[in-house]
Amino acid sequence: MADEKLAKLREAVAGLGQISENEKSGFLSLVGRYLSGDEELIEWAKIHTPTDEVVVPYDTLESPPEDIEATKKLLDKLAVLKLNGGLGTTMGCTGPKSVIEVRNGFTFLDLIVIQIESLNKKYGSNVPLLLMNSFNTHDDTLKIVEKYANSSIEIHTFNQSQYPRVVADEFLPWPSKGKTDKDGWYPPGHGDIFPSLMNSGKLDGKEYVFIANSDNLGAIVDMNILNHLIHKQNEYCMEVTPKTLADVKGGTLISYEGRVQLLEIAQVPDVHVNEFKSIEKFKIFNTNNLWVNLKAIKRLVEADALKMEIIPNPKEVDGVKVLQLETAAGAAIRFFDHAIGINVPRSRFLPVKATSDLQLVQSDLYTLVDGFVTRNSARTNPSNPSIELGPEFKKVGSFLGRFKSIPSIVELDSLKVSGDVWFGSGIVLKGKVTITAKPGVKLEIPDGAVIENKDINGPEDL
């Protein structure tokens, strides 16, 4: 039955003129693995907590020599790659997420460019920036990158694969069933980075690539990590960081049959899900900051050896049930030699997934120097305040409209806002604050208000 399905699909895919032969074979190989159902199941009893040799504590890394020439030598082996395939739809934006303004009028992409420029300028190095786009972000990104034409850094863009969505009940590609616009296709997750990077021809002349999500403001080039990998000849390194209760769903690193492996919540048998989410047994999670040896990528892609766990992602689009199969870059760790994790400080994980994250990075909790977003030392609590904003704040435009200026939150523990709330300028929030506007009522927090450990339900509580 599976063979029959695959044969029909192969025939239909052969007729799709919009994608390359590489993409067709990559897609069919993914579907073939999915249909054969030979995904190895994790045996829970074989899972071990990785030792410090496998997940190296960051503070045990040796610093590289302070010598400018030696640092330049290390940096000349490096390329920086940002995953730029995502759209800012969750935050109400139509284009690539990386062009949302984060701080002082700078976008994610601006900050990334400024960081690499200042690094290259300081050491006289030539670290290029690679952007992996999806077909969703490609055209917009090309226009955006034009503004860096006079920048001193080399910027290369390439596209990740474009695969057809499969119509679930007939198991045929949606584009061959007449869905010819963008919705008929999908980018197959960032696990696709390795073949796409290889197909792009951008692998030459460098030794390591540092891969990170473009929305993670903490993912900056780290000399201690680079130095360690080059000296120890680690082919792959995943940055992990200690879990908090907010990160219980994040993938974690385990030792399994003598290799280091990523364990995602989707692979966990139901009876063990609570154990997986506990902070006691699985203390770290994947930040998706990855350092990978480029020769190793070439070797493994050519051998077709990167068979990462398949993530089936069923969706309903325009009333049609479709299936898209994806893979994650972190899952490739088990195929590389001398692969390690490094347990890094939380400051290297500062993603902006929602407007509540934007509020954190735009506030006085952070400062911006040379493109680097640095935490304010006046904040004594090591963890960030938890911020929950209601649906009125979900889109960037309405979020920005509701704040005359972003409140001071250096001494804030938690903030919960619901209803039609508007903030004046120069507001200070401390401790635990809840602000709830009654239905149909516009609640304005006046300029200069200082609110500490309060529940506010109307003007009378201010």
| CA-based max dimension of the chain | 70
Is 277 known as a binding-site position?
A: no
Is there a contact between 288 and 193 (Cβ–Cβ < 8 Å)? no
Q: Is 8 annotated as a binding residue?
A: no
CA 353 to chain centre: 9
189 marked among binding-site residues? yes
Q: Is 85 helix (H, G, I), strand (E, B) or coil?
A: coil
Helical (H) or strand (E) element with 194: helix 193-200
Angle at 233 between CA 232 and CA 234, to 5 degrees: 95
Burial of 20 (0-12, 13-18, 19+ CB in 10 A): exposed
Q: Coil, helix or strand for 398?
A: helix
Q: Please enumerate in sequence order all residues whose Cβ is within 8 A of that of 98, keeping only pairs 6 or more positions apart, or say none.
A: 82, 84, 86, 107, 108, 109, 112, 137, 141, 214, 215
Query: Rounded to 5 degrees, what are φ and ψ at 105?
Result: 80, 0
- C-alpha 240/C-alpha 341 separation (Å) is 6
The reply, when asked if residue 353 is annotated as ligand binding, is yes
Q: Tokens standing for 388? A: 């929950």
- Angle in degrees, 0-180, between the axes of helices 294-302 and 193-200, rounded to the nearest 10: 100
What residues form the annotated binding site?
97, 160, 189-190, 215, 353
What residues form the annotated binding site for UTP?
97, 160, 189, 215, 353
What residues form the annotated binding site for substrate?
190
